[in-house]
Amino acid sequence: MRKLVAGNWKMNGTSADLPQLNALADQHGDASVDVVICGPATLLSRMADTGLSIGGEDCHPSSSGAYTGDISAAMIADTGATYVITGHSERRTDHNEDDALIASKATAGWNAGLHVIICIGESEAQYRAGETLDILRAQMDQSIPDAATAETTTIAYEPIWAIGTGLTPTAEEISAVHAALRVHLEARFGAEGSAMRLLYGGSVKASNADEIFALANVDGALVGGASLKATDFSPIITALEASA
């Protein structure tokens, strides 16, 4: 399995930010790990021109139709992108997306030939109540379609309370969660579940990347804020390469 570090630019980025990607492509074009930047739909074509692997941040479950303002997976693929994120907690929370919708978006991504990163994660209240594993197992059961394979699918564990806050679970907590997620994936998908990449996401930065990437069953990271600037993202890529 090749490890993966994926950036998520969210609703950030205009033409003025494209040189960040050129810098990354220059420094990491031949990386020994997969490097992907998921960006806003407005930039995807030009992001793809840099030669980096590019992804959408979300897609509609239908391939086309009367859905004003939405973007289909086929449209994302048409830009030259090869990945798409589904189920990010900001989509689940801000747009009331449920697991069934996220599963249908994952299927739409596969149908368009995209590799799909499916996000799961517990809220702070659920974490404090000790419900993390129950929540994550339920999200996996319902938002990962049966047809998922290691080649088409990556799972990103992102505790909601760690996203953009500077907080992270302890190394022991990440380890325990990822071990439990691996067991759950293997129980359902067998060998495909063993090979499916499990990313950690939530306040990953250069200063904590080494510790997180050293953990068993952490096959890379989904990175928000620290993916916006090449000088912040580059050391995270280097840390993942060193752990691979």
How far apart are the C-alpha atoms of 164 and 57, rounded to whole Å?
A: 16
* 61 is an interface residue for ligand PEP by CB under 6 A: no
Residue nearest to ligand PEP (CB): 224
Closest contact distance (angstroms) between CB of 227 and ligand PEP is: 7
Among 13, 169, 201, 220, binds ligand PEP (CB under 6 A): 201
- The one catalytic residue among 88, 115, 178, 184: 88
Among 39, 61, 202, 220, binds ligand PEP (CB under 6 A): 202
Tokens of 101: 């919708």
* 204 is an interface residue for ligand PEP by CB under 6 A: yes
How far apart are the C-alpha atoms of 220 and 4, rounded to whole Å?
A: 5
- Tokens 């659920």 found at: 126
Is 178 assigned a catalytic role?
no
Burial class (CB in 10 A: 0-12, 13-18, 19+), 29: exposed
Distances 59 to 48, 94, 159 between C-alpha atoms, Å = 17, 15, 22
Q: Which residues have C-beta within 8 Å of that of residue 239, sequence separation ≥ 6? A: 206, 209, 210, 213
> Which range of residues in 29-37, 76-84, 182-190, 224-232 is near ligand PEP by CB under 6 A?
224-232
Among 203, 217, 234, 238, binds ligand PEP (CB under 6 A): 203
Is 88 assigned a catalytic role?
yes
For residues 120, 123, 126 and 128, what is the CA-based torsion angle, rounded to 10 degrees?
120
Residues in contact with ligand PEP, counted by CB under 6 A, come to a total of: 13
Name the nearest CA neighbour of 135 among 8, 143, 68, 164: 143
Are 63 and 72 within 8 A, CB to CB?
yes
β pairing state of 115-120 and 83-86:
parallel
Nearer to ligand PEP among residue 63 and residue 231 (C-beta): 231
Among 3, 4, 5, 8, binds ligand PEP (CB under 6 A): 8
* 199 is an interface residue for ligand PEP by CB under 6 A: no
Closest contact distance (angstroms) between CB of 131 and ligand PEP is: 21
* 224 is an interface residue for ligand PEP by CB under 6 A: yes
* 37 is an interface residue for ligand PEP by CB under 6 A: no
* 163 is an interface residue for ligand PEP by CB under 6 A: yes
CA 236 from centroid of its chain's CA atoms: 15
* 154 is an interface residue for ligand PEP by CB under 6 A: no
Active site residues: 88, 158
Summarize as ranges the residues that interact with ligand PEP (CB under 6 A).
Answer: 8, 158, 163-164, 201-204, 222-226
